[in-house]
Chain A
Amino acid sequence: MVRRFVRFLLCLVGVFVIGGAVFYFITAPNPLPESHWANLGEPDLKNGEMVFWTGGCVSCHAAPGSEGDAKLTLSGGLALKSPFGTFHVPNISPDEKAGIGTWTLAQFGNAMKRGVAPNGEHLYPSFPYNSYARISDKDVNDLFGYLKTLPKSGNVAPPHELPFPFNIRLALGGWKFLYFNDEPRVALPANADDKIKRGQYLVEGAGHCGECHTPRDRLGGFEADQWLAGAPNPEGQGRIPNITPGSKTVGSWSQEDIANYLETGFTPDFDSAGGSMAEVQRNLAHLPKPELEAIAAYLKAVPNR
């Protein structure tokens, strides 16, 4: 009787060990190899700056409340509230101790495109690597080069405040298994205009527009078939609008109206961008007009929702 029970217990342990090993095997952090990042050459800093403004790094990584040139000191510190707890945005200034000054391109690239930290741990998807995975290696290299030109800060952000089980980084592997990919969010026809394809690259990648404009399920993954359909405001009251052609508001805007909005902040009836979009718009206004037109062309080409 006792032996039978021990055997049962051993089996149970075996199942857990094997199950755990399988889980780990499937969900282990999966960085790209060093060699992947080896031959990208000298970064194009001007292009890096454009990637920087497309991504709007300052919106989260600048010190809260900073303005003007102070925004370029990416000291971190913003508290990002979410249904899963509060994330404290890290310092990504080139400071060797507090920032990313000692990171290699491979470490930076794997954080951006694989959500893997230099110590090999999973990063939380509050850092939108699930969008950044679509950024080209060249653009990552250029962006990294540009970030190194920005001022240093010694600020150290507090650790994230996340309740169990969200504080278990290993579990993020499961999240990635379910939701992480670098595939196009929208299947464009092969003969789609180059402008639309460029817009797709900007919106789905560095621009990470879907991170706010697409609704999420209870585990924080995008709801299938609701790409850019609008979502509750993650920061509190109100909604992040639908920006597909089916939108009650943006749907009636022309392509030029959208590009003009991103450039000036004014809607066609001269309302202005508000909430967190106000800063997104100010960031995007740094881009050349053809890039904003590409974004507009893509937004006109996504499915109606």
Chain B
Amino acid sequence: MRLKAIAAAVLVAGLGVVGVAIAAQEDGTHEARSALMKKVGGAAGAMAAIAKGEKPYDAEVVKASLMTIAETAKVFPDQFKPGTEKGDKAASPKIWEDHADFKARAAKLSDDADKLLAQLPADPAGVGAAMKALGANCGGCHEKFRIKTE
């Protein structure tokens, strides 16, 4: 009986934590936007480790990383709907002033990742070249639309 109560308490507490995590990542907030970007960063990191020879080549890891990048880039602009202009100091007003370009850049990253998925890089050098191609998208978009806050 007591065990059940503890289990229930733990479960409730756990849900609470999950709830907070979800609340913090409500669409259109800095946290939600950062979380998506960190997913892309994590995928890029996994590929970079292979490109640099820190990890052995693994087609599954490369594939999963590219899929993460393709999918995340696809949904990323949804975080910047009208009405979410305020409250995120890292998001430049240019995102909304030039929204077509913003969306086009996200779409290009997604497309570039899809193309690489169709012809999966087959060795560390290929992964390195893929990183370079994808990385140009990161810098290009951050140059125009991201504001550094510290």
* Interface set of A (CB-CB < 8 Å, partner B): 230, 233, 237-242, 248-249, 264-266, 269-279, 281-282
Inter-chain contact A274/B44, CB cutoff 8 Å: no
Inter-chain contact B143/A274, CB cutoff 8 Å: yes
Choose among B92, B149, B150 the residue with the greatest number of A CB atoms under 10 Å from its CB.
B150
Q: Which of B48, B89, B92 contacts A270 (CB 8 A)?
A: B48
Does any Cβ of A come within 8 Å of B2's Cβ? no
Inter-chain contact A273/B142, CB cutoff 8 Å: yes
Separation of A179 and B121 alpha carbons in the complex (Å)? 53
Q: Which of A239, A266, A275 contacts B44 (CB 8 A)?
A: A266
Q: Which of B132, B140, B150 contacts A248 (CB 8 A)?
A: B150
Given contacts A274-B143, A274-B148, A278-B143, contact A269 B135 (CB under 8 A): no
Choose among B44, B92, B131, B139 the residue with the greatest number of A CB atoms under 10 Å from its CB.
B139
Inter-chain contact B139/A265, CB cutoff 8 Å: yes
Given contacts A273-B142, A275-B142, A278-B140, contact A265 B135 (CB under 8 A): yes
* Interface set of B (CB-CB < 8 Å, partner A): 37-38, 40-42, 44-45, 48, 89-90, 92, 131-132, 135, 138-140, 142-143, 146-150
**B142 partner residues in chain A, CB cutoff 8 A:** 272-275, 278
Inter-chain contact B149/A238, CB cutoff 8 Å: yes
Separation of A282 and B150 alpha carbons in the complex (Å)? 21
**B45 partner residues in chain A, CB cutoff 8 A:** 269-270
Given contacts A269-B45, A270-B44, A275-B148, contact A237 B139 (CB under 8 A): no
**Beyond the given A237-B147, A265-B135, A277-B148, could you list 14 further A-B residue pairs with CB under 8 A, ordered by the A residue number?**
A238-B89, A238-B148, A264-B132, A264-B135, A265-B138, A266-B44, A266-B48, A269-B45, A270-B42, A270-B48, A275-B142, A275-B143, A276-B143, A278-B143
